[in-house]
Amino acid sequence: METSLRERKKERTREHIGDVALRLFLERGFDAVTVGEVARAADVAEKTVFNYFPTKEDLVYGRLEAFEGALVEAIRSREPRESVVEAFERFVLSSGGLLAGAAADRERLKAVSEMIVRSPSLLAREHQVFARYTASLAAVLAHEAGAGARDVTPWVVANALIGVHRALVEFVRGETLAGKANATVVRGVRTRARGALELLSDGLRDYGRGRA
C-alpha cells in the first residue's frame, strides 16, 4: 500500500508539472518559457522537473509515453488469429488511440498544434519520439518471431506502421490548424487510416497471424 500511495503521489506531481508547463507554453510560446519558470510556477525545484521530464520538450511530449505503452500492448496482447496490421488498425481507430486526439477539445488542440509547428526543438523531439515508438514496436515483433539481431523484417514492419501513424498525426494537425470540425477530422482519420493500412496489407496481411 505504501508503494502504491507513493506512486500515485509521483503521478500527481508529474501531471501537475506537465499541466503548469503546458499552460505557460500556450500563453507565451514554448521557446519563451524556461524550465526554471515552470518549476517556480509549479512550486517545485528545477531538479524535480528534470526528474520527471528529462528534457524541456518532454514537458509537451511526456504524456505520449502512455500512448506508446498502449500501442505496444495492443500488438502484444492481440488474439492469435489477428495480424499485426489488424491489431494496429484496431488500436489506432479506437477511442484510446489516435481518434482520441482527433476528437479532443478543438481550440486546445489547435493551440498545441500551433505551438509545435512554430518550435524547431519540439518538431525535432517529435521525430525522436516516433523513433522510440518504432524501436519499441520492432522489439516486440522481433521477440514474437524469435528474430535474430540482423533480421530486418521486424524493423521494416514497425517502420511501415509507425509511418502510417505519423502521417495520420500530421493529417490531424493540418486539419485542426485549418479549423476543421472535430467530426470532420475523425471521419478523415478513419478513411485515411483504412486506406493506408489496406495498401500495406497486400504485403503485411498475414504477418504475425497464427503465432504460438
CA distances from 21 to 37, 50, 57 (A): 9, 12, 10
pLDDT of residue 105: 75
Residue 113 sits in the same domain as residue 75: yes
- CATH number for the domain including 13? 1.10.10.60
Q: 211 in a domain, yes or no? A: no
Q: Does 212 fall in a domain?
A: no
CATH code of the domain in which 134 resides: 1.10.357
Does one domain contain both 28 and 128? no
Task: List, in order, residues 6 or more apart from 188 with CB less than 8 Å away.
Answer: 171, 175, 180
Q: Which domain holds residue 38?
A: 2-56
The mean-pLDDT minimum among 75-79, 154-158, 197-201 falls in: 197-201
What's the pLDDT tens digit per position in 36-55?
999 999 999 999 999 999 99
Shared-domain flag, residues 147 and 45: no
Summarised one tens digit per residue, pLDDT across range 146-188 is: 998 889 999 999 999 999 999 999 999 999 899 988 888 889 9
CA distance linking residue 205 with residue 85, whole number of Å: 7
- Total domain count for the chain? 2
User: Cell 501531471, residue?
Assistant: 15
This prediction has a pTM of: 0.84
Are 76 and 26 contained in the same domain? no
Query: Are residue 90 and residue 121 in the same domain, yes or no?
Result: yes
Residues 24 and 123 occupy one common structural domain: no
pLDDT of res. 102: 64
Task: State how far the Cα of 208 lies from the Cα of 170, in Å rounded to an integer.
Answer: 28
Residues 38 and 74 grouped into a single domain: no
